[in-house]
A = this chain, B = another copy of it.
Amino acid sequence: MEMWIKEAQIEDAAMTYKVKETLVRKKTKYQDLAILDTCFFGRMLVLDGIIQTTIKDEFVYHEMMAHIPLFTHPNPKKVLVVGGGDGGVIREVLKHPSVEKAVLCEIDGDVVEECKKYLPEISCELDNPRCEIFIGDGIKYVNDHKNEFDVIIVDSTDPFGAAEGLFGGSFYEKIKECLTEDGIFIAQTETPFYLPEVVKKVFNDSKAIFKITKLFMAAIPTYPGGYWSFTIGSKKYDPETVNLDKYEDLDTKYYTKKIHKAAFVLPKYVEDLIK
């Protein structure tokens, strides 16, 4: 018998991966959670049929979500990650010595628990003393904290269902208040090829709220289209013009100082989308 997972995000086009074994499958309070062992990508976290991360290609997403904003801010001490229960973004955030506290606010405690069990390569820093885990609603957490975080990273699932409230202007207003006066916000903002309207809306929502809004791209094999957008909203620092020379290189597999700048150079069709 051959078992393949077929991803559910995009209609009429799907990625499929051959599966060795289902390690866990459960209905949590919020979603259908599965961790599979796949032949090419190793262990894979799937939520509501959508691939979230895999052992083999997780480095791209997690490095770019963490290092672009954290190297843009000159001295990030307090960082909030909304979502990201697998711990991959936290692992990268804690590579920055300036960070004193990284809060993970994940709505679904089962994601944290199962990733600790089955994806230790990704979740390994969740027990770091500089990491604080809060299981609860990200919107409420952001509303309850004002002027507190230097960087807020919204590592959510897609803008349908549970995570819908994490995309759009009203949430970004609260994010702005939750940030310090020179704070930076970043979110994963989907594929411009399959979901151009989502990319456009999120970009314009952020632009209406933050002094500086920029879009950058990264190549992630297991995300639809293989090419993913990220939106940054910043009160003061421009991620494109920041001087990176003062930082030592981190141990990374995708991010470099040159990639930091090149990621903001957009193909014409993406440039046109956010004009």
Seen from chain A, the residues whose Cβ lies within 8 Å of a Cβ on chain B are 4, 6, 10-18, 38-41, 57, 59-60, 193-194, 217, 219-221, 223, 225-227, 252-256, 258-259, 261-262, 265-269, 271
| Nearest-Cβ distance from residue A118 to partner chain B, whole angstroms | 20
A13 in contact with B6 (CB, 8 Å): no
* Option from B226, B262, B267 in Cβ contact (under 8 Å) with A227: B226
Cβ–Cβ contact B15 & A41, under 8 A: no
Q: Are B60 and A267 in contact (CB under 8 A)?
A: yes
Using Cβ atoms and an 8 Å threshold, which residues of chain B touch A11?
Answer: 18, 39-40
Distance of A222 from chain B, by nearest CB (Å): 9
14 contacts between A and B (CB under 8 A): A11-B40, A12-B17, A13-B17, A14-B15, A14-B17, A15-B16, A219-B227, A227-B227, A253-B269, A254-B268, A254-B269, A255-B268, A259-B267, A261-B265
Task: Identify the interface centre among A6, A17, A262, A266: most chain B CB within 10 Å of its CB.
Answer: A262
Partner of A13, one of B10, B18, B60, B220: B18
Measured between beta carbons, the chain B residues less than 8 angstroms from A14 are 4, 15-17
Q: A221-B227, A254-B269 are in contact. Are A40 and B15 (CB under 8 A)?
A: no
